[in-house]
Amino acid sequence: MTQTTTETKINPRPLDGIRIVDFTWVRAGPWATRWLGALGAQVIKIEWPLREFGRAGGAAAAPPGITPTLNTGGNFNDTNANKMSLSLNVRSPRGMDIIRRLISVSDAVVENYSASVLENWGLGYEELKKLREDIVYVSMSGFGHSGRHKHYTTFGPSAQALSGMTFASGLPDKPPAGWGWSYLDDSGGMYIAFYTLAALFHRQTTGRGQHVDMGQMIMGATLNGSALLDVTINGRSSTREGYPPGNRAHWPGTPLVSGYRGRTVAPHNSYRTLGGGYNDWCTIACFSDEEWRNLVCLMGSPDWATDAKLATLQGRLQNQEEMDRCIEEWTLTLEKYDLMHKCQAAGVRAMPVQSNEDRAEHDPQLRERGLLREVDHPELGTRRMQNAPFVLSESPARNHRHAPLIGQDNEEIITGILGMSREELVSGYSDGTFWPDSMDLYPYQKELLQ
């Protein structure tokens, strides 16, 4: 169930009383303000129906059985929970006047456009300071607002390529693979939220606002782990000589010591489990001889496992192919969750490989931690959405509101927060300030105007 008003009064959230004007789009920016909203900030998303990428096109695919509208996209609704929506044409003089009035009574502005966009609108940091001297302006463009490439445009996957992460993910003798998901968008969003909190705290302690200037590619360059040390300290350029040291710590034909990662271990792999289906796998990793002995005992101490050649790490690495085949003969007799429980009880690190369905339907830990929380949506019905992946004991961070219908909160923002008259609200619909003339109004907007 969603968090109630009573819950909020009993346990006030960390950012209650903070108002954020949200100019974000696509994924990274909206992902940041989603969590700021979960922490209690009043996030007002500024959007225009003709240019809202997240609500339209392929990114807005509706769930099966739901008629697609600007309000039904699954990804949009997950990414924009805990926000309000003001549909506003900021490129019109009247719309710009309204947005300047809103910024003057807000604490922060968050945006992830290219470096020159808000500047060209007349909403750069120097202009924002004239509206509110202590405003916090948080921006994340592809390359930041300074440097020779500041005007280059990018998306998460292309920033990922330049950052070095795409190269590191490839297989030997194959093209750079990239990641299955736009990793720099989600991680970038968390960085935006982190730096917004830091700037708000700085303002609280000093009374001064500031411009937080982030570059998505530059942020990604710091996520390559110790690979940068390999070239700066060891003088070794990045190569893909062997398979990535992920599920398996060591691959045949590669050095036993893997550069900056330190000495490899074995067993360290993913093994098929009972059923042998596409997702019937479990990972097992033994980081010491003691953990290996625990695994041997759990397997019933078969002759092959008690052979002296496997008693040491060096021996297990040298005989890894044979060892892994024998381990998998055993894992194929157990269901992957049963295997995890038995291994954990025996002091062996093991976890099943989980699909989306596994995480949503079969993971009791995620369920008990409340990662998926039901939210009631006017058009999608009751749906489970991602909740905050952390727990605050005194000030809960929770999904307390579904993603807004476009323009849903126009009346509350215009007549409530800004104190404008209802006549001004109605006339804004007539002159195209709040809704384009070329689009029909949604029923809730027609009801508002009646």
Task: Tell me which residues are annotated as active site.
Answer: 185
Q: Which residue has the tokens 């506003």?
A: 88
Task: Residue 328: name the closest of 236, 262, 387, 248 by CA.
Answer: 248
Give the separation between CA 270 and CA 334, rounded to whole angstroms: 14
User: Do residues 418 and 380 make contact, with C-beta atoms less than 8 angstroms apart?
Assistant: no
Specify the length of the chain in residues.
450
211 - beta bridge partners?
Answer: 137
Measure the CA–CA gap between 337 and 362, rounded to whole angstroms. 10
Residues 29 and 42: their CA atoms lie apart, in Å, by 16
Maximum separation of any 2 CA atoms in the chain, in Å:
87
Tell me which DSSP letter residue 14 carries.
T
Q: Tokens representing 123?
A: 């909403």
From the list 197, 219, 181, the residue with the least C-alpha distance to 397 is 197
Ordered alpha helix ranges (H), 207-355: 216-221, 227-232, 289-298, 303-306, 313-318, 320-331, 336-345
Q: How many CA atoms lie within 13 A of 174 on its CB side?
A: 12
Of 263, 165, 275, which Cα lies nearest the Cα of 218?
Answer: 165
Q: What is the DSSP string of 155-166?
A: -HHHHHHHHTHH
Neighbours of 234 (CB within 10 A): 10
Residue that has been written with the tokens 């409530």 in this structure: 416
**Cis peptide bond prior to 267, omega within 30° of 0:** yes
Query: What residues are paired with 212 via a beta bridge?
Result: 138
Phi, psi angle pair for 139, to nearest 5°: -130, 145
Strand spans (E) along 77-193: 83-87, 108-111, 136-141
Measured between alpha carbons, how far is 98 from 93 in angstroms, rounded to an integer?
Answer: 9
CA 144, CA 112: separation in Å to the nearest integer?
10
The one-character DSSP state at 440 is: P
